[in-house]
Chains A and B, each alone.
Chain A
């Protein structure tokens, strides 16, 4: 049972190191706080409007339906400019995100003409521009539908012998009014899976938590090399201690450290930003412990096969970056191409994130993440076995 003494000693050393405290507690706290402020929606009222400039030199009455449609969208702040050039300058100065140039002859009442509204955007803020483009497109679509309606009504009236020229202004007026007021078909939105949440924050937190678990790989490898260098590892092996005790002791130490970090991250998320930990947080703790064990085993393996501290750090960093990127710690895997999603399944991060999401987002029972836990445990056991085989004690 010497592995217990080795693990306890390692944890004591961690508790005495100021830098270890910094990475273990402060770093997850900072990350969760920054992510929380950025993504939790807690301060959504202060989210700035999307500024859209428009230029039009014709009769204001002709574009009134279009402008009114845009004004009704709360997220848009409209800015009128004198000319297209003035609007472009505003984009260059980042004063507005996009500019629409409305042709001079634009008139909703002129059903026989075609118009093109030009949309210019700031290439440095493509996401905001994309959202704005979607909003403008929505308003333009509504107007198009109105114009089709007017045309149909006019043709119908003609068939019944009505004087279209006389009736058209009245039809246009009716349709224009209905465009502003009628909302016949609405969409009722309902979230599924646990509490109402902010998708971005809930995507980021499991990803970061898993990333912190992987940090133990780097830390663990460094610590093991310190022990090799100052010959304390040699001293331990000269004592009646089995080599397996050394490996297990190191693994347990790394596992507890990683687990503690992940717990702090979730706890901070819960306390500061009301992150849901599911109905029974014990499920999450249980899952995190298994995930931490797997990360610890990968850490011991990296330390086992490396010949120098430099090599261990390099290999650990490579694994850390690769698995975090492919496994969904940095961005939702759904956004990546199919082959990357497949590759992601071969990473520790994918399975750990998948399990955590099921527990905190969908509030599922522990049994529902059984597959993830089995995969993680198997991976951990394989890496531990390889560590026993290839551990370099000198």
Chain B
């Protein structure tokens, strides 16, 4: 823990009807840091998020935000004002327009006029909805609603924003806009917990990623370091004719491959040093008289990290 730490979570536990859902997790989030939280359904992500958002009380453990403890009743209100929560569901009032939705939640957080009006204008600009501000929200596209869903959490200038699956089911344009919002918040020193199913989002947006499974954090590090955990990080797919299965074992030892297999005309080799291997492999295959039709290099991803750590697919 450093002076720069904004969120401190230690030994956090939660059970439902005696069934443990979150089993003692610890992590910190630094000021201005974007931390990803990955995990399959039922991993305990939502329960963790709801505890962080003050909605659920933990059974055990502690949560501190900006030095204030959530278990202290006197600090509860202050902590709620530090947090901006963007739920996975589009939680808006469809009959009201953007301004009315924003004004309502702004008032609940005690934001007074004229600051509230300025903030509403600023946020509508940020999420690209200024021109549609007087249109009932139920007439918005899914992407526009998602953007407003985010804006609602930013009215009171939170120090810590929780984004729970903010890009589910939206168009690429809205997704890019949301990425821009996340980057703007980061630049402004806001800490973000970003929950997502999309590995590429976690890889491109997050400074660090926590992987949850079975109520525990099974890995937490920077994306690069997590990717380094994968044995045979790159997958080299070579489309060839006339492969002999007996050559698999030779291939594994010759190129220090963690795995080699031939299926449907494609030879897949899992290797770490892709740059050193490719010229040699092409030369060797050429010398054995085989015809190379296509070579494809697949970069390692968090999916593989999860697979390696748990033996199951992240989307299971």
Contact = CB atoms under 8 A, between A and B. Distances in A.
A234 B87 contact: yes
Given A230-B90, A238-B55, A16 B95 contact: yes
Interface in B189-243: none
B107 interface: yes
B101 to A, nearest CB: 9
A240 B158 CA distance: 13
Interface string B125-144: 00000000000100000000
Interface residues of B, number: 25
Which among A2, A237, A238, A241 has the greatest number of chain B C-beta atoms within 10 A? Answer: A238
B104 A238 contact: no
B95 A17 contact: yes
B53 A239 contact: no
A230 B107 contact: no
Contacts of B17: none
Contacts of A235: 85, 87, 91, 105, 152
A238 B96 contact: no
A7 to B, nearest CB: 11
B104 A5 contact: yes
A252 B104 CA distance: 16
Given A240-B77, A240-B108, A232 B85 contact: no
Contact of A12 (B92, B100, B107): B100
Interface string A1-18: 010010001001100110
Interface in B18-77: 53-55, 77
A98 B54 CA distance: 76
Interface in B144-159: 152
B183 interface: no
Contact of B96 (A12, A230, A240): A12
A320 B81 CA distance: 41
Given A232-B91, A235-B85, A240 B110 contact: yes
B95 to A, nearest CB: 4
Contacts of B136: 16
B93 A240 contact: no
Contact of A239 (B80, B87, B95, B100): B80
Contact of B83 (A12, A16, A232, A238): A238
A17 B94 CA distance: 10
A13 B93 contact: yes
Interface string A205-234: 000000000000000000000000011101
23 contacts: A5-B107, A5-B108, A9-B96, A12-B95, A12-B96, A13-B95, A13-B96, A16-B95, A230-B89, A230-B90, A230-B91, A231-B89, A232-B91, A232-B92, A232-B93, A234-B55, A234-B87, A237-B55, A239-B105, A239-B109, A240-B77, A240-B80, A241-B108
Interface of A: 2, 5, 9, 12-13, 16-17, 230-232, 234-241
